[in-house]
Structure 1
Amino acid sequence: MRPARVSRPARTTIGAGLIATASPAGASPRLATVDAVRGAAVMGILLLNIIAFAMPGYAYVDPQYYGGATGANFFAWAGAYILADGKMRGLFTMLFGASMLLVADRALAGGEHPARVHYARMGWLLVIGMLHAWLVWAGDILVLYALCGAVAFLAWRLPARTLFAIAVALFAAKLAVGALQYDAAARYEAAATAPAADPALRARWQAYRDSMAPPPATAAEDLAAYRGGWASVQAARGDTARDYQQRILPLAVPDTLALLALGMALFRTGFFSGTWARRRYRQVALAGYLICIPLYLPLVVWITGTAFSPVTLLMTEALHLTLLRPLLTVADAALVILFVQSGRARWLAERLTAAGRMAFSNYIGTSLVCTLFFYGYGLGWYGWLERWQCYGVVAGVWLLILLWSKPWLDRFAYGPLEWLWRSLARGRLQRFRHN
């Protein structure tokens, strides 16, 4: 078959919420606000992922495990925990939900079958995600999105109010499970660490605790593996990918579905399209920051006061992921939308929007750049940087994303992986270059 025709992009307009960009002939113009929020998310997610790229994995949760937990390293952890942990993934996930509806609505308007289009996209996303997880970086999120997207699509015709209700119910369920797990673990710990506790109980407790939080000595195994050559790294990466997909990924399904439903609901209300009154966006941003950031401070005190106890983290994770993260994530989105609509720093808004249009390519590209920088088959910086120093690498990757995305899209209709995904899902090659 002949490649689908792509029209030359019209002039970019930032400020009204719409941006005319390269798209198949007859397609609707893209939404600048949606792309800009997605761009902020794909860049911001590296604030947390950088730790998993740069050093032994459990440092992502506990800075005492590796990378430093005092001075500048402590403030790097606390700042990322309060402002970015879960929020950037939350933005990315909500935008994934919004995009599902956008693609389905456009497929329906174009005479295509929305379900056929959607599930073709999810099927190929699963394939690409598996390749990414097993051959590039084990912390992949695309497999989770493909699986959850397949489920969430069942609700694509539901009204915003129902989608909000689903999100709230899923968040409440995760909070309840977290509270029950914390209570059970705290009771177990108290019984096992009592002065008269049976030695066998103490041993079982220690094994259980080590399954939640590996002892610092285990970091040496990661260092040896990821500082080695391709074979050494690949063996460790495969073990991590298997563990993540079998043990960690299922635990992330409820809040991922909740965030997808929330993103779908907000899209239905016009939030991501920039159609709300600017006053309402300001109110959402101020409320999110003024309510949530102060409430994070006692969580930081509790976590550090218990030396990052995995038992404490059972409760603090449930609280922050289900009560604080959604509000702060929506506040972040509102702030980006306000920025795009303001017309200020137009050059930055256009580059952020381009980064969002190429979020798939930028996400995988970030993995390639960071693994080549840190792993032994690349430059070999794995485990050599302190926590705060990793953010210099983040700044460098952000600069690359902002520098390359817009010039690429000025010449080509899609990012390279966006083109590949679209071609695979459509079953025919899409036109790559602008006419």
Structure 2
Amino acid sequence: MGRAGETGLPFPRERIVELDALRGIAVIGIAWMNVYVFALPLQAYYNPAAYGAQSALDYAFWAVSFVLVEDKFRTLFAMLFGLGVAIMWERGTGWREHLARMALLFAIGVIHATLLASNDILRVYALAGLALPLLLQLGWHGLGLAMIALVALHLGGGYVWLASRSPEFFALNFGGHPDGLAYALELGRESVGDRIVRRLASLPATLAAISAGVPINLASMLAGVALWKSGLLPSRWSRGRVLGLIVLCCLVALPALTLIAFSAHSLAFDPQVVARNALVLSAPFDLLMGVAYAVAMLALFTRIRDSLGVRLLAAAGRLSLTNYLMTSLVFSALFASWGAGLFAAVSRAEALLLSLVPAALMLVWSPLWLRLYGQGPTERLWRAGARAITGRHA
């Protein structure tokens, strides 16, 4: 077994169905929000008043998404990524192999962002993952303090960034300014060749932008490790303590997120307010909701671990990297100029319905693929590439 954590809990050497099912839930939840990146101009992702909100139902979907979905499932995905790195480290992964894995993940993210999804999260995970092993020897109390420091760094840096931007910047990028919308519509309809040229030319600026997401994502990764070391994810807490943590997280986060969403609505979705709320102010509460989701769903999956639903989600989770990339491919086929060309032709509610397409596909194809090949294609490529770089063999 691996080395024990603060509570004497070793990291697992075999796959845990409940954790794989959590990964499946996370990748499906990410699709809920990512559909807006592909279906609507970039301003509409955060601001429903900017584009795509045609009825009260669209605003209702925005509010529900903001409070319950936006960045919560990315947080959950990051938590599980952090736990995965910790498990690999306990199994004997050294710095050389770890750095090779992060470098390859970053390369996959760059390719993904260039060809398909400009909001790719793999690049941020790779950058945050570079520092993760330095913190793995902390006990769960120390991990909690590190998380608080990282969240504070995110908040402080975010407010400094907001203060450095002009009102015109917010109007163009987070509001319904005609020039900003016209440019976003042009980008959404560009050809594959034009997109590749533009994205490659902007790589240096993009790297600086995604680096700003490292502290909050590293905090999320540490949350996953801390929950394991505390004995919670292995289900060694009593039902009362589990329920208490869920209730505490929700009592803090849900009223705060609801108030933040209400502030945007009451101020007529002012672009500067929208940017502050989505990029900075909501972050600590998104993290709390991610923790609540992880704990609640793990408790549920433990009770029904042999059910068909859990098995399907676990299969999707074992192929989480492949399914994450596949989701972007499906959305591109639906919305891009080289696909069905539905970009800017659907409402928020219609886009949400279309997000069910990749979710259904991954639940169908994941168990079939695993039965035939035992491992996802991108997961196999990632592992084999790291071994090739380091000279290690299976």
Q: TM-score, normalised by structure 2?
A: 0.88
* Structure-2 change in CA distance of 1:180 and 1:360 (3 Å): closer
* Structure-2 change in CA distance of 1:114 and 1:360 (3 Å): same
> What residue in structure 2 maps to residue 421 of structure 1?
382
Cα separation, 1, equivalents of 2:134 and 2:35: 34
1:88 aligns with 2:73: yes
* Structure-2 change in CA distance of 1:294 and 1:209 (3 Å): closer
Larger Rg: 1
* Alignment of structure 1 residues 200-215 onto 2, 5 Å: 205-210=166-171, 213=174, 215=177
* Structure-2 change in CA distance of 1:206 and 1:334 (3 Å): closer
- Does the 8 A contact of 1:33 with 1:274 survive in 2? no
Match of 2:62 among 56, 68, 77: 77
Deviates more, 1:389-398 or 1:269-278: 269-278
% same residue:
30
Cα separation, 2, equivalents of 1:174 and 1:429: 37
1:53 aligns with 2:38: yes
1:45 alignment partner, SS class:
helix
Cα separation, 1, equivalents of 2:255 and 2:60: 16
> What residue in structure 1 maps to residue 301 of structure 2?
340
> What residue in structure 2 maps to residue 272 of structure 1?
233
Paired amino acid for 2:78 = T
Paired amino acid for 2:356 = A
Gaps of 5+ in 2: 1-11
Gaps of 5+ in 1: 1-26, 108-112, 189-204
Cα separation, 2, equivalents of 1:235 and 1:345: 48
- Does the 8 A contact of 1:104 with 1:117 survive in 2? no
Deviation at 1:398, TM superposition (A): 0.9
- Does the 8 A contact of 2:20 with 2:318 survive in 1? yes
Cα separation, 1, equivalents of 2:103 and 2:223: 23
- Does the 8 A contact of 1:179 with 1:314 survive in 2? no
Partner deviation per Cα, 1:117-168 (whole Å, 9 max, x = no partner): 3112111111111111112222111111111101222212222211111001
Cα separation, 2, equivalents of 1:92 and 1:300: 23
Match of 1:260 among 198, 212, 221: 221
Paired amino acid for 2:28 = M
Deviation at 1:277, TM superposition (A): 2.8
- Does the 8 A contact of 1:138 with 1:241 survive in 2? no
* Structure-2 change in CA distance of 1:240 and 1:45 (3 Å): farther
Partner deviation per Cα, 1:39-87 (whole Å, 9 max, x = no partner): 1111101111110011111211111121116411101110100001111
Deviation at 1:315, TM superposition (A): 4.3
Q: CA RMSD in A?
A: 2.5
Count how many residue pairs are aligned between Structure 1 and Structure 2: 379
> What residue in structure 2 maps to residue 325 of structure 1?
286
Deviation at 1:271, TM superposition (A): 2.7
- Does the 8 A contact of 1:87 with 1:329 survive in 2? yes
> What residue in structure 2 maps to residue 28 of structure 1?
13
> What residue in structure 1 maps to residue 9 of structure 2?
none
- Does the 8 A contact of 2:26 with 2:74 survive in 1? yes
Cα separation, 1, equivalents of 2:124 and 2:34: 16
Deviates more, 1:54-63 or 1:227-236: 227-236
- Does the 8 A contact of 1:226 with 1:233 survive in 2? no
Match of 2:272 among 311, 318, 322: 311
- Does the 8 A contact of 1:138 with 1:240 survive in 2? no
Cα separation, 1, equivalents of 2:337 and 2:185: 10
Deviation at 1:281, TM superposition (A): 2.4
- Does the 8 A contact of 2:150 with 2:215 survive in 1? yes
> What residue in structure 1 maps to residue 143 of structure 2?
163
Cα separation, 2, equivalents of 1:58 and 1:405: 33
Deviation at 1:230, TM superposition (A): 2.6
Cα separation, 2, equivalents of 1:240 and 1:40: 32
